[in-house]
Chain A
Amino acid sequence: MDVRLQISMVFHLDKCIGCHTCSIACKNVWTDRKGAEYMWWNNVETKPGTGYPTAWEDQSKYKGGWEQKNGKPELKMGSRSLRVLNLFHNPNMPRMDDYYEPWTYKYEDLFNSPEGADQPTARPISMVTNKPIDIKAGPNWDDDLSGSPVYAANDPNLEALTPEQREELFDIERLVFFYLPRICNHCLNACCVAACPSGAIYKRGEDGIVLINQERCRGWRMCVTACPYKKTFYNWSTGKSEKCILCFPRLETGEAPACFHSCVGRIRYLGGLLYDADRMLEALHVPDDQLVEAQRDLILDPSDPEVREAALRNGIDELTLEACERSPVYKYVKEWKLALPLHAEFRTLPMLFYVPPLLPVMAKTGDGVYDSSNEELFSPIEKARLPMEYLARLFSAGNVEPVRLALKKQYAIRLFKRMETVGDMDPAVVKQALAEVGCSEAEAEQIYRLTSLPTVDDRYVIPPMHREEAMQMLNDDVLADKGEAGFGFREAPARGA
């Protein structure tokens, strides 16, 4: 057993209100720079929708992720020798127009224009060429289903649905969407790491954060193609690739990453997961429909004495184990089986998990009348507005069962709390609903508490990062990096000639 620590995340989609505060927090801290204007290390997309970059899930176009070739995992973009040959021109690299051309406005025209019959306007100006442009796309062009026939209708995940189901999805009054906030998944089997010709991308052993060494990156840009989530970005100004760093300088000081910290809906949870690196390959060699279960199996119980002993042997300290025991991520992913990985079929073992959203039908229209009375509190999950096949395509590699369980459990807990607080539920029905998903009343209460009433300390259980030890390894002078975070001050990120 090779026990390792992974700082892991859960996003509770039922709570996401799509406000984009997380994206702005991240932008302000990390990507408000030349060459990075178009980057959104954290973005929020509307689903169904094509997302950012446009149709990123369509791997027939972008060639991201792994696939099984002769029983061995290989990058979908091809063999490693092909990658070296493609250094001159990467045939599957997304371009700026797949994201959008960043722009600002010529605000000074509002003040400097000569007096005339019309109001002066601030024209959009490209932040690449500094010339006026016609805006054709933005980071969130299909927010809230805007332009659905062009954008949402092209969502690759809709392939899982029948034509009738698809039509219903966009029927007015039945219209359904939810938000999908995305950051780097800090995968266990990361494609960006595997594809980097320079070996500049690596996983930190201590906490599993995936980073790009900016001093070793040579701009071969294979990671951009390889990442199926399109969460590595090429900085066109510095000629280096960049990605989400999970705000590791903040984690070191015990603070949650900026996007977590600023989350208005409090949908985000962060904590440690222990996993068995020895069994990773097993988890990669299963058929698609077993991927979610296989990944869950990798996660180890931090209160198991055997695991604890193996973890201590591996140099994981007591305080970290304690933090892992309180990890909200462990509870959502492993104990309660509520949180699922995004697109497990990419086979990267992503370590960001999502609680799928409940989208019950709360009302119907008949003869133009909006009727909110229902025979039951909610319509049953099977009749939810979003077909389960769609959610399964996103969160469990096409297997409906894990999604059904997650939804039914959430549903049962609502019934349970309704019974407790309002008292108009038949206890037998509630008992039946809980029993169906194998959830005790105590567990239901716990899930309710962590979902609805969590404090900051409940949501973010950050294991101690031991920067003091890390810096000792890098620097003989223990005081040299005092007052700094991360790697401290290094070379300025200036474009080479």
Chain B
Amino acid sequence: MSDTQLAWVVWAVLLPLGGIVVNLVVGRRLGEKGIGAVASLAAGGSFVLSGLLALALLQHPEGGIYRLATWFNLGSLTVDWSFRVDTLSVTMMLVVSGVGTLIHIYSIGYMHADVRHNGDPQRFRRFFIYLNLFVAAMLLLVSANNFLVLFVGWEGVGLCSYLLIGFWFEKGEGGLGNARAAKKAFIVNRVGDFGLLIAIFLMIGAFGTLDFDGVFAQAAQAAPALLVAITLFMLLGVTGKSAQLPLFVWLPDAMAGPTPVSALIHAATMVTAGVYLVARSQALFLPVPQAQAAVTWVGGLTALFAATIALGQYDIKKVLAYSTISQLGFMVAAVGMGAAVAGIFHLVTHAFFKALLFLAAGSVILGLEHGHEHAGEGHDPFDPQDMRQMGGLRKRMPLTFAVYLVGALALAGVAPLAGFFSKDEILVAASERFPVVFGLLLAAAFLTAFYMGRQLILVFFGEPRSKAAHHAGESRPLVTMPLVVLAVFSALGGALNLPGLHSLEHWLEHSLVGVKEGHFVWAVALGSLAVALLGLGLAWLVYGRRAPTEQDALARPLGPLYRAFERKWWVDEFYRLVLLRPLGWLAQVLAGPVDLGLINSLGDGLGQGSQLSANWLRKLQNGLVRSYALVVMVGVVAMFAYLLWVR
């Protein structure tokens, strides 16, 4: 590829930053439509550039590297601002900028209502600045050519996530809920980043470079123990960013952000960064099966674990959040077991249908808020995200219902929608390499279908269970148009890598190592389809035939188990008890008894000691000249005595 073509990647990253500058400088005068247009155009421009790069890659699939400048060069380590154009990074860029652009457009409509509902229209501009910043950081993450530039994007998206979760920083539980959720997200992510940093330090020591090519070329000769260390620390980073066990706790709380944020950052793009990282670093994972197994198990366990929690949630976005964690588990398991193409495939289709689901959920929330105001109950406390307040919305919001149905079926893995194909590939790979994890994933797939069925029924079927639901109305075209586009992709996304064609596989084998020809196993495919239909059917049996009550229909038969689902297995409580409380207590002890009590007292004690001794000595200084003279006299006599007799 020519240098001019490669330089597009830099422009793709810089364009959203340009959007920020424009909105910062003249945004106040542009008005809401103008601000949204500038931001959407910036993101869309990145998408166009990504598309051009993809076209160029068709001619030269080997891609290339664009070196912008030296970041720093110290001793033997040089780190460049360099960008990598290959099929993997461009695929990610297309997803990020494509879904990103759609969500920008959606946000113009959604945020118009949201800022008014929350009572601060001035904040509209800030939202789009953050959103552009996120797109820039995410594009940097996926187009980086070394681990440190990747890390810039890695923490950059975490920062944007912090800002956007805390967008309504004065709202939430006790007024501080959202701010706390944002802080929690950042700190938990930092724990993961700690792992990635250590992995980077290890790589510097072992390989002397952070460039992907340089590291991967030397990986084959490296000591296995070292690779295990690097990959396991990297795994810690992955569990943080991609919300896997044990660091998944931040993602459900992150739903405090506006819904477009949940769709873009906490479903489609940022949380998949961990999957991307493992896929990119396959060369480090392939030589060490122990690390692969660790990643796969983490993914498999998370997939099932999060799916159980999703069963017990009433908040429409929380269900989707746990579903996201579960699906990320599928992807992590896939890239862990070496089926990187399947992982990326699922990443792409999941980006489509999960973004769709979140945005449609946002549309539902808007509809309910709208209905709430129409019902004339504007000031009552009302949670527009509580599924128990919904019901029967398929008649009030037919378009939203249609796209939601597509998304839910795709997620459940019903053929021939996108999710079926991508999930199937993961299951096939698992059935061959990790039979137990295959079982975990299959169970998770069943639960996925079940909780999506539950959600569909609770939200759209039956009779409206509140006045707000009764008066809900369909959203504006600016909101629903991106939904339709995403629904089309969710339906047809499976075509990317149809069995037998393997177009995505042939596309990605230029940049992924160890790509094996995937194959289609009828037994697994039919089995997973059966499981999906079974889940949906069971959900209909449990929830569809009778009016839902305050208590969930499963609560009685499952008993304490359901309580565990509902309370999220008490993980948050566990962390609070085991980590946060003791650490907070430790900080108090350090600040109080240790610092002020001990260390400060050492210094002050020295001072007081000298003051005391001085107080005692000052008594000698009685101010009587004659007593001084006496002392002088005695001294002189003593000296003479010494000189005369002793010496």
Partners in one complex: no
What residues make up the interface of B, taking CB atoms closer than 8 Å to A?
Answer: none
What residues make up the interface of A, taking CB atoms closer than 8 Å to B?
Answer: none
